[in-house]
Amino acid sequence: MRRQPFVAGNWKMNGGLAANAALLKALLQGLGAADAVEVAICVPYPYLDQVSRLLRDTPITLGAQDLSPHTAGAHTGEVSAFMLADFDCRYVIVGHSERRISHHESDDLVAEKFGAARAAGMIPVLCLGETLEERRADATLEVVFRQLDAVLSRHGVTALAEAVLAYEPVWAIGAGRTAKPEEAGIVHRALRQRVAKEDLAAAADLRIIYGGSVKADNAAALFAQPDIDGGLVGGASLDADEFLAICRAGFGKRTT
């Protein structure tokens, strides 16, 4: 299915064995018509085993929040794409702004991680987004294009087949303040046009989701934008009712 709406939860550094089990139970009970929207959950490494077991043969897909650019060897504390794949991880977030900022991840490192995910057969969810200062300086497109181009120049546009872009304005993450739907829609359209310059079909098929304080009460308006194909949801993915309502807001999108 081309550009099936996609909603991914990013638990960040939250969770616990008992809380995870309760949350997943509620989600699986509440997720009826799951075929219209693809739902994934990106969990902290220690819970991959637990969550992958609980999601087996369910409509929810498993993801991770980061990975090493290396495949194996002397890299203390790192986790490779092949290790993630062992737990049936289909998605992995790369270049989240919390890592770009707090862990000083460069565009080049993010591009390497993107390649490592692809090499292991996983689907990278590449996060792009500007800070408040950059937006105020009218540099939004310059920044997201630079972040995207780092991946395109290293791996080529074919690497975007099946990949997901997540436009996440840094000033909207965890801030309780979202980009206005039209404002986000403009950036999504610009990103798609940028990819279209390289490959029209790849651009038409590319899922570009929005992240940054997506909630039950703003999801439908965001997802109604023609170039917004779903959401990357942080805080609200920890609350079953809230996350389910966001997933349902994805049902209204076209699915062909």
Report the length, in residues, of the chain.
Answer: 256
Nearer to ligand PGA, 196 or 238 (CB): 238
Shortest distance, CB of residue 76 to ligand PGA, whole angstroms? 26
15: left (phi over 0), alpha (psi -120 to 50) or beta: left
Given 38, 112, 130, 168, which residue is catalytic?
A: 168
Given 96, 105, 112, 130, which residue is catalytic?
A: 96
Helix axes of 48-55 and 17-30: crossing angle, nearest 10 degrees: 20
Nearer to ligand PGA, 51 or 236 (CB): 236
* Binding-site ranges for ligand PGA (CB under 6 A): 10, 168, 173-174, 211-214, 232-236
Cite the beta strand spans of 129-236 per DSSP E: 164-167, 207-211, 230-233
Q: How far is CA 42 from CA 21, 39, 211, 212, in A?
A: 14, 10, 14, 16
- CA 237 to chain CA centroid, Å, is 12
Shortest distance, CB of residue 241 to ligand PGA, whole angstroms? 15
Shortest distance, CB of residue 74 to ligand PGA, whole angstroms? 31
Q: What CA–CA distance (Å, rounded) separates 44 from 201? A: 34
70 is annotated as an active-site residue? no
Shortest distance, CB of residue 75 to ligand PGA, whole angstroms? 25
Nearer to ligand PGA, 202 or 244 (CB): 244
Nearer to ligand PGA, 110 or 203 (CB): 110
168 is annotated as an active-site residue? yes
Q: What CA–CA distance (Å, rounded) separates 148 from 227? A: 17
Positions marked active-site: 96, 168
